[in-house]
Amino acid sequence: MGVFQRLSDLLKANVNDLIDRAEDPEKMVKQIIIDMQTELTKATQNYGKAKASERLAEKKYLDAQKVSADWESKAKAALAKGDQDLAKQALARKVKADEDLANYKEMYESISAQTDAIGDQVEVLKSKLEEAKSRQAMLIARSQMADTQKSLAKAAGSFDPNSSFDKFQRMEDKVMRKEAEAAAFTEIAGDALTGGTGDELKNTFKDLESEAKVDAELQRLLAEMNGGSSNSSN
């Protein structure tokens, strides 16, 4: 009975508590299934032994019935021949056989009741084992999901959105600087390919414009001076 009580306690245990205390819930659940299978094997073996004892007790009980019936038959035969002394001897043996018969009957009925109880317990254990197996995959999946949720919660708790955005902004600034450098190098490379003719042409026109301005200023000054000379001579 201790084996079945232990299994009953195991089945009634709070699964969540087992998972909380277990370092590896998956291994814990699998080990529970293994333990239950082991106990079922032992219980089945004990049930087999009980059935063997029941059959032996039944045989002794049936044999005692035959012995009692046989001595009663012999007593009747002796009386039929008118030999009461022989009949009484046979009946004395029958009385002894009846005592044995009563003892064997009691033993057989007791063993039979115990065997039936063990058989019922084995069937209950089988049912519980099948139920545990069917729930095994779900419990493992729930454990894995809980681990995942816990990891995600920890990751979310340690995540700093402001810091991450600042890093992103710095990366964007770097890209913009690289783009500006690329544009500058592209412009320089373009001037090198054209031989710098673009700038020289511009400088030539600038020089012409400067010379024109200088000539204009010279003419203005000459005109002023010439005009001033004629006024003073008059």
Are 10 and 35 a contacting pair, CB within 8 Å? Answer: yes
Are 151 and 179 in a shared domain?
A: no
pLDDT in tens, 2-49: 555 565 555 555 555 555 555 677 787 788 888 989 999 999 999 999
Residue 227 or residue 98, greater confidence: 98
Number of domains in the chain: 2
What is the extent of the structural domain holding 60?
2-159
pLDDT digits (tens, 9 = 90+) for 173-211: 888 888 888 887 777 766 655 555 556 777 787 788 888
Answer yes or no: do 175 and 120 share one domain.
Answer: no
Q: What is the mean pLDDT of residues 142-160?
A: 73
126 and 196 fall within a common domain? no
3-state helix, strand, coil in the chain (%, to 5): 95, 0, 5
Are 69 and 20 contained in the same domain? yes
Same domain, 135 and 190: no
Q: Final residue of a domain: which of 159, 178, 195?
A: 159
pLDDT over threshold 90, residue 113? yes
Co-location of 216 and 135 in the same domain = no
Among candidate residues 135, 159, 183, the one where a domain is terminated? 159
Q: Express as a percent the part of the chain with pLDDT over 90.
A: 34
Which residue in 149, 143, 145 sits closest to 26, CA to CA? 143
Environment class of 152 (CB within 10 Å of its CB; exposed 0-12, middle 13-18, buried 19+): exposed
For residues 135 and 207, membership in a common domain is answered with: no
Q: Is residue 136 a contact partner of residue 30, using CB atoms and an 8 Å limit?
A: yes
Least confident interval from 27-36, 132-141, 149-158, 214-223:
149-158
Evaluate if residue 171 carries a pLDDT over 90. no
Sequence-ordered list of residues with C-beta below 8 angstroms from that of 129, at least 6 positions apart, any chain: 33, 36, 37, 40
Average pLDDT over residues 134-140: 80
CA distance 164 to 159: 8
